Structure formats: C-alpha cells, structure tokens
Amino acid sequence: MVCSSLAATAGAFNVPLKCTPEETKHFVEPAMKEAEGFNFTGALEVVNDGLNAHPASEGLLFLRSYFCYKIADSISSELSTLPQPIQPLGEGVLMVDGAMTNQMLGRFQEIVKVLGDAEEAINEILQVNPHNNEVTAFRAYIDSKLQKLGQESENMRVTFTNTPNIAGGFCVGCRKNISFDTQTVVFRKTPSTQLEVWHLPCFKQLGNKN
C-alpha cells in the first residue's frame, strides 16, 4: 500500500514509498500529526519506534530520512537568523566572536550528524530498491547539503584556529591575555603585513582616539 500522507510530507521530492496499513495507522499518521505542528523531533521519535518494530519498511525509512532532513533544515534556519560570528570589517580587519563561533561550530556538527542519519536511512532503502530514482535524487540532494555544510564548517574552523596562532595570544592594546574561545576579538593587518589581535573594547578605544 502506498502511504498517501507521504506525498504531503515529501513535497517537492515526490517519493511514493510503500508501507502497510498497520504502519500507516500506528506510525505514519501519528508522525504526520507531529510534523503538522512542526515538531519534527517528535515525528522522528514516532518513526524510529515504527522502525524498531518494522525495520525493513521503505515508507518509514524514507520518513526517517525526511524528518532528519527537516530537523537539520530547522537548525540551519535558526543559525541564519543569528549574527555572523566572523565578520570582515574592511581594511584588513576581521572581528571574531569566540563564544558564538564555538556555538555555531557545535550546531554545524549537529546538522552534519542529523543529515548523516538521513543519508543512512536512504542507503538502507536503496539496498532493497536500488533503482528508485526519486530516492537516489533525494540522496544526492542530502549529499550536496553535507558537502556545503562541511565546507562552511571547515572554513570557519580553520579561520578560528589558525588566526590566533599567527597573531599571538595577547591584546595589542591592553597587553592582557586573550581567551579566543569566549571573547570577541579583532584581528588587524599592519602596514608591514603583520597580524595584530585586539580585545574588541580595546580596538574601539583605538578608533575613538583616532
């Protein structure tokens, strides 16, 4: 039996996967109810319960993949509303919010993990039904998301890790130690191409003096 609810859930992906009437009644419909309220974590829990009872269900495997994707998408949307933790200010100046950068790197890892779970569920479907073009296309979409997020995370991590190593660990202004993990700092290239690091308040004082 084709799960009629899947069409609404999959949306643009249009993946008509099979599930039994029992799976539909006890797991698909309750999961859809959670999803209608945008509780994708709750929907995923229902689907995972279903997969414990019916581990080979293509319909439930697809729903697992889809709800994992929706959770990752929700986290990504949340991150897009936050201030950027690493901001170029022009003229060779870069501001880095250490606490926010650490938080965002952690959230990136959450997204990557959830998308990895989605891909794992899709791969299980393809083991049973390797010629399902719609599911293959969905896996390619998730792969592209993983690659993009992985690159963004790596770029942020490299900037966050390498720049302090080059600039040193003391503020040029107050000469006090800098905690890159918790403080907001400013990196600035000097005319001699050296890299300075400042506490943000110290850098603002420099601007006021100028």
pLDDT tens string 147-189:
888 888 888 888 888 877 888 889 999 999 999 889 999 999 8
Sheet holding 93-97, edge to edge: 86-90, 93-97, 184-189, 195-199
pLDDT of residue 17: 60
Q: Which domains does the chain have, with CATH numbers?
A: 4-209 (1.25.40)
Question: Can you tell me the distance from the alpha carbon of 98 to that of 179, in angstroms, rounded to the nearest whole number?
Answer: 8
Paired sense of beta strands 93-97 and 86-90, if any: antiparallel
Q: What is the pLDDT of residue 163?
A: 79
Contacts of 92 (CB under 8 A, 6+ apart): 188, 189
Residue 53: the pLDDT is 92
**Over its length of 210 residues, how does the chain's per-residue pLDDT go in tens digits?**
334 334 434 444 455 567 888 888 899 999 999 998 999 999 999 999 999 999 989 889 999 999 999 999 899 888 888 888 888 888 889 999 999 998 888 988 899 899 999 999 999 988 988 888 888 888 888 888 888 888 888 888 888 888 778 888 899 999 999 998 899 999 998 877 688 999 999 998 876 555
User: What pLDDT does 207 receive?
Assistant: 65
pLDDT, tens digit, 9 for 90 and up, residues 19-33: 888 888 899 999 999
